Amino acid sequence: MPTLFSRIIAREIPADIVYEDEHVVAFRDIDPKAPVHILIVPRQEIAGVAELPDSGDHQHLLNAARRIAEQEGLVDGYRLVINQGPGAGQTVDHLHMHLLGGRPLGWPPG
Ligand code: AMP
């Protein structure tokens, strides 16, 4: 079974896609936690950080994040988050990086 995010990448499920390249696809989170809340997803199906192979599409997540942050005009800063496992709130078992910005972001996160 393809993951929810693979179905978005395949355009089987609609999403507001803001960026894509040969390695990653990024779209707006359906339940945003900040004015800008984008999910950056490797095309390769990797369940999470705990299952990370040595190399693959996930190596391009950070560069995509930098490009998208510039595209979104996040000059004041932004936060990148990966939730690993249920204890950290991971709900979709397809590796994804949250890009959050557009408001002050408290530290430490909850
Ligand atoms: P996580 O809890 O770290 O696994 O993040 C999963 C994220 O996916 C949550 O922030 C959800 O709001 C988001 N999400 C779930 N379904 C969709 C969808 N169909 N389109 C966009 N974002 C989604």
pTM of the predicted model, to two decimals? 0.98
| Two structure tokens written together for 32 | 């945003």
- Tell me the C-alpha distance between 4 and 8, whole Å: 6
* Closest C-alpha to ligand 1, atom 20: 30
Beta carbons of 77 and 105 less than 8 angstroms apart: yes
Point out the residues that are catalytic: 96
Beta carbons of 82 and 49 less than 8 angstroms apart: yes
> In the predicted model, is pLDDT for residue 110 greater than 90?
no
Ligand 1 test: best mutation among 13, 16, 39, most atoms within 8 Å of CB?
A: 39
Q: Per residue in 25-80, pLDDT tens?
A: 999 999 999 999 999 999 999 999 999 999 999 999 999 999 999 999 999 999 99
Q: Which domains does the chain have, with CATH numbers?
A: 4-101 (3.30.428.10)
